[in-house]
Amino acid sequence: MLQKIVLWTHKRTSNWQQMPDWLSSLLVILLAFLIGALFIIAIGASPLAAYGALLRAAFGSVNGFAETMIKACPLLLAGLGISLAYRAQFWNIGAEGQIYAGGVCAAIVGLYLHGLPTFAHITLTLLAGMIGGALLGFFPALFKVRLGVNEMITTLMLNYVVIQVVAYLLHGPLRDQASGITISPQLLKSAWLPIVVERTRFHLGVLLAVGLALLIHWFIYRTVLGYQIRASGENRRAARVGGIRVNWVIIWTVLLSSALAGLAGAVEVSGVQHRLVEDFSPGYGYLAIAVALLGNLEPVRVIFSSILFAALLNGADAMQRAAAVPVPVIYVIEGVVIVLVAVSIFRRKGSL
């Protein structure tokens, strides 16, 4: 029986493979929203109102777009980092922890370095975030290269460890003593990323992230180290034969990768929260994996996939308020969209 079903999808889908790319992608995404509509109807809400709210919230106003972009920002930065690591076949799933590490380091510099001019203070704050992220990435990279330790485990375990460290810091050393709650004091104003679009939260970090994406595109395709990252990932042995110091390259790649994730945390702290709070990343580090892969590890395409994800998250969130769609249904829609988008993008080519 099962075999029949599989054979059936085989037959059905072979025509589909001849379709132009854009058309089938569109159909697949439509299908995802149709499936979502069934759930929305099931809870007695209106799919049209819900999807209208989704689009309006994501792109319908200056503020909506700004919110989409500030959400895209950490996804983009961490996604860029993940793209680099995955190109070198280093399966970093520690971006979440690296985001937290970056956030903590940025917060410390933003809180305690007094008397700096704004530009210098912001630069140092972001730099601190990058160093924090990179530090966390360094050990899994070193263990992998020197001892052959599986990086998926080490990076995943470090996520849990770091999140507890952040919790500890917020209960103890970094806690705002004046406040009754477990948050750090506000960063000094000189460490705040400036707002770019008046009356929104659109901060400079967004532009920085987009600029970095272009830079990294150039870096991957036009520089020696970029070439070596790609070569080491695609064929380690051949890279070695060509005289590339593969281990050296992997360590640098992971440092860059985790520094970018750390930067995502720093930007979130100094651009949005202006202080360190627990849970300031609701799983950006995991979503960024999907963002990077849906962008096919191409920096410029990662810009678009991060915006797509941010729009989806923002818009879906707005469906709660505009159309009373409960959160479980929103998760179902998000999940279906992610799975089906993966299908539409990768069906022709092998991924990775």
Partner 1 sequence: APATPTPAAETKKVRVALVLDGKIDDNGWNQAAYEGLKEAEAQHGVEIAYSEEIPIPDYEKALRDYASQGYDLIIAHSSIAKEAVMNTAKDYPKIAFLWTDGDETRENLAVIRPMAQEASYLAGLLAGKITKSNIVGMVGGIDIPSTHRSYAAFEMGLKEANPEAKLLVNWVGSFLDVAAGKEAALSQIEAGADVIFGNGDGQNIGVLQAAGEKNVLAIGAVRDQFNVAPNVVLTSVEWGFRKGIAEVVGDYVAGKFSGKVYEIGLAHGADLSPYHENASKIPEDVQNLIKEKRQQIIDGKLSIPDISSAQ
Partner 2 sequence: MMSDKSPSVIVMRGITKRFGSVVANDNVFFTLQKGEIHGLLGENGAGKTTLMNILYGLHQPDSGEILINGVHSHIKSPHDAIARGIGMVHQHFMQVPTFTVIDNVILGLQPFYRPALDRRHARQRLLEIAHLYGLSIDPDAYIWQLSVGDRQRVEIIKALYRNVRILILDEPTSVLTPQESEDLFHTLRRLVENGLSVVFITHNLEEALAITDRITVLRNGKAMATLPSVHATKEELASLMVGRQVLFDIPTLDLPDVSVNEVLSVEKLSVKGDRGSLAVRTVSFSVHQGEIVGIAGVDGNGQSELIQVLAGLRAPYEGRFFIKGREMTNASPREILQAGVGYIPENLEDALIPSFSLLENAVLDTHYTPPFSRNGVLDFRNIVRHARALIQSHDVRVPDEMAKAAVLSGGNKQKFIVARALARNPQLLIAAHPTRGIDIGAEEYIRNLLLQKRKEGMAILLVSTKLDEIMSLSDRILVMERGRIMGEMLREEATIERIGMLMAGSEA
Partner 3 sequence: MLDQIFSVVFLTGFLAATLRMATPILITALGEMIAERSGILNLGIEGIMVLGAFVGFWVSYQSGDLWQGFLWGGLAGGIIGALMGIVSVRFHANQIVTGLGIWILCQGLSSFLNRRIFGISSVRPQLPTLPAIPIPGLSKIPILGETLFNQNIIVYGTLLLIPLFIYFLRQTSWGLHLSAVGENPRAADAAGLRVEWIRFLATTFGGMMAGWGGAYLPIAFYGLYTDDLAVGRGWMAIAVVAFGRWSPLGMLAGALIFGASSALQYRLQAMNFPLPYQFLLMLPFLITLIFVVLFVRGGGGPAALAKPYIRTQSE
Ligand X SMILES: Nc1ncnc2c1ncn2[C@@H]1O[C@H](COP(=O)(O)OP(=O)(O)OP(=O)(O)O)[C@@H](O)[C@H]1O
Asked whether 266 and 102 are in contact (CB, 8 A), the reply is yes
Q: Which of 206, 197, 261 is nearest to 71 (CA)?
A: 206
Within residues 106-125, the interface with ligand X by CB under 6 A covers: none
Among 228, 257, 306, 314, indicate the residue that binds ligand X (CB under 6 A): 228
Residue of 44, 115, 147, 222 that binds partner 3 (CB under 8 A):
147
Half-sphere exposure of 65 (CA within 13 A, CB side): 6
281 interface partner picked from partner 2, partner 1, ligand X, none, CB below 5 to 8 A per type: partner 1
CB of 163 to partner 3, least distance (A): 8
What does 15 bind: ligand X, partner 2, partner 3, none (CB cut-off 5 to 8 Å by kind)?
A: none
Cα distances from 323 to residues 136, 330, 334, in angstroms, run 42, 11, 16
Residue closer to partner 2 (CB basis): 216 or 316 = 216
Nearest Cα to 40, choosing from 27, 51, 31?
51
Residues 6 or more apart whose CB falls under 8 angstroms from that of 67 comprise 57, 200, 201, 314
Residue from 245, 282, 331, 351 touching ligand X (CB under 6 A): that is 245
By the rule CB under 8 A, 40 interacts with partner 3: no
| DSSP codes of every residue in 168-207 | HHHHTTT--TTSSSSBPPPPPGGGSPPBSSTTS--BHHHH
Listing DSSP states for 20-33 in one string gives -HHHHHHHHHHHHH
Are 190 and 121 in contact by the 8 Å Cβ rule? The answer is yes
What is the residue whose two structure tokens read 């810009």?
A: 303
Report the residue from 8, 168, 221, 248 that binds ligand X according to the rule CB under 6 A: 248
Closest CB to partner 2 among residues 8, 331: 8
- Taking CB under 6 A as the binding criterion, the range among 24-32, 62-70, 136-144, 247-255 that sits at the site for ligand X is 247-255
Q: Tell me the three state secondary structure of residue 183.
A: strand
Report how many residues bind partner 2 under the rule CB under 8 A.
19
Q: Among 92, 98, 125, 154, which residue interacts with partner 3 (rule: CB under 8 A)?
A: 154
Report what 2 binds from ligand X, partner 2, partner 3, none; CB cut-off 5-8 Å by kind. partner 3
Structure-token match 């530009």, residue found: 119
> Which of the stretches 92-100, 106-114, 166-174, 233-241 binds partner 2 when contact is defined by CB under 8 A?
233-241
Q: Which residues bind ligand X (CB under 6 A)?
A: 224, 228, 244-245, 247-249
